[in-house]
Amino acid sequence: MATNGSTKLRLLITLGVVGLFGIITFALVAAILGTLNKRLGAVDGKLLAIAARSLATLSTVITTTPNHNLSLVTSINVTDVLKHLHELQSIADRANGTRAINTRGFNETLQYIKYTLSRKTNFTIIEDSFPVRDFALNSEPVFISSVNGTIKTYTFSLDLTEADFLYAKYSTGSNITDINYVSVIPNGGCNETDWRNVTPGRIALIKKEGDCSSRQRISRAIKYNATGILFYNNGRSSDDLAPIKITLSQDNILPVLFLSHKVGQDLVDAILNQPSNVTVQLGIDVKSLPAFPVGNICAHTSSGNATQTILVGSHADSVPEGPGINDNGSGVAANLALAIALAELYNTTVYPKYKYRIRFCWWGAEEVGYLGSSYHVRKAKNATAAGERLVDYLINLNYDMIASPNFIFGVYHNQTARKGIPSKAIHGIDKVSDLFREWFDAQNLPWTATNLDGRTDYRPFLAEGIVVGGLFSGAEDVKTVEERNRYDHFLGQGMGGLADSVCDPCYHKACDSVQNVNIFALDKMVHAAAYVLEKLGEESDLQGWLYPN
């Protein structure tokens, strides 16, 4: 009798737990769908059907019986990643909608990362900080044009409904008395060929299009002796008419303004008709402010060879204009999920520890020129302690933007690398790229070879000849018809996204919130990252595998 009663009790408890899990799962899926509806209605309602079908797939993932074969891939659940994203959103909400450096939002992001690591892992946590210069306007900027002798002064305002132009953060100063001729740069100025007909000593006028960064455009402007840059919005939709608040790299040396689509297009039309009769004047008066500290956080395993370290990185800061949940809360959350899952596996008696030390890092100040990762590399170059030297790093895996709403499964690949990549890193880059593609192929998922163009924190590591790899779901990149059709083929009709639309319409904007995240893409990207980290950790001779010569 006692045995039968105990059995019934255990059965009732089991049924209760299963029922409770089902209710929680249903509520979670419903909540996610609700937030997606709000986001997609605000940004692009056409993505709603895609997101809904993705969510149906996701609900299957969440409710499937877990695989009891212990692995890093099966130990990660996308719902845990989403919890981190919601925490980051809450942090931004308490900090005027941003997690940018030198704000409460960024400082609380670092606190959250440290708190989570200390609670969920037994890793060694290292905090470090570095100084960042700051600048501010002494007075409101002035922008004047002259077209065939007609003078026009434009409106500067922080109210985007009234503004004709905005000042770019970290722009240098410019004298309003200087009269400048203007060169129109085609195709967004992303290619060398766009600049070859530029007349030296002129201001470059560039439409916001193409898939290169402001830093890359400025580098080309300097190379071709432009004296400043006027960006202007592309006018693709009603959301792309006003000027945009942008933050440049801290080492920028040119005056830069951002114009509305109308102001920029009017100047283009005037220059194409009468190039010699169009001039502009830029009045930008800036002052230096005291430097402020910005932090990095790293955490590493206590086991594994410290002189053969696998480094997994993501940047922790957003731009001032928004909460940065895709850019780069998605990388922050993925990195946390990887670290926690690995720590839990290491605490079991059946999961073999890797022979290499694993270090996870969250960098500061990526949005102003990957300053945190650059500082870490400079410090490591001068270090003498084993495990802290640059030579101790075998590879840097980087995750920056892995949940774009109109996503690609982008894999960094040597064939898309910029010129000048150190030759000793090429073989390893190819091998790591093959691992990522191997996972996507095994899951019958599409993938895209994405540009290894140095736009994010792997750049200083790659410059030193360290192998890099990673994933990217797209930012300003426009998804082509071919890509959409190929993704439809693998994922199902209508699941491939929107052709001729950017991958992330909220890139560097206030709408980059939790509603901007494609959960299906996030789920696949995090598991691809887990697969590659585990495969690298299991290599018997990773150094020889990456650097055979």
Environment class of residue 515 by beta-carbon count within 10 Å: exposed (0-12), middle (13-18) or buried (19+)?
buried
What φ, ψ does residue 501 adopt, rounded to 5°?
Answer: -125, 150
Measure the CA–CA gap between 60 and 345, rounded to whole angstroms. 24
Nearest CA to 503 among 364, 369, 403? 403
Nearest CA to 435 among 413, 452, 416? 413
- For the question of residue 366 being annotated catalytic, the response is yes
**325 DSSP 8-state letter:** I
Nearest CA to 81 among 453, 351, 337? 337
Contact yes or no for 72/289 (Cβ under 8 A):
no
Nearest CA to 185 among 159, 142, 223? 223
Q: Could you tell me where the beta strands, DSSP code E, fall in 267-322?
A: 278-283, 286-300, 305-315
Measure the CA–CA gap between 352 and 339, rounded to whole angstroms. 16
Nearest CA to 271 among 194, 223, 199? 199
Per 3-state DSSP, the chain is made up of helix, strand and coil in percentages (nearest 5) of 45, 20, 35
Look up tokens 């091998």; give the residue. Answer: 431
Burial 247-286 (b: 16+ CB within 10 A, else e): bbbbebebbbbbbbbebbbbbbebbeeeeeebbbbbbbeb
Burial 80-113 (b: 16+ CB within 10 A, else e): bbbebbebbbebbeebebbbbbbbebbbbbbebb
With H, G, I as helix, E, B as strand and everything else as coil, classify residue 546: helix
> Count of alpha carbons within 13 Å of 231, Cβ hemisphere only?
31
Measure the CA–CA gap between 516 and 496, rounded to whole angstroms. 17
Structure tokens at 547: 């650097």
> Which residue among 366, 367, 476, 534 is the active-site one?
366
The residues annotated as belonging to the active site are 366
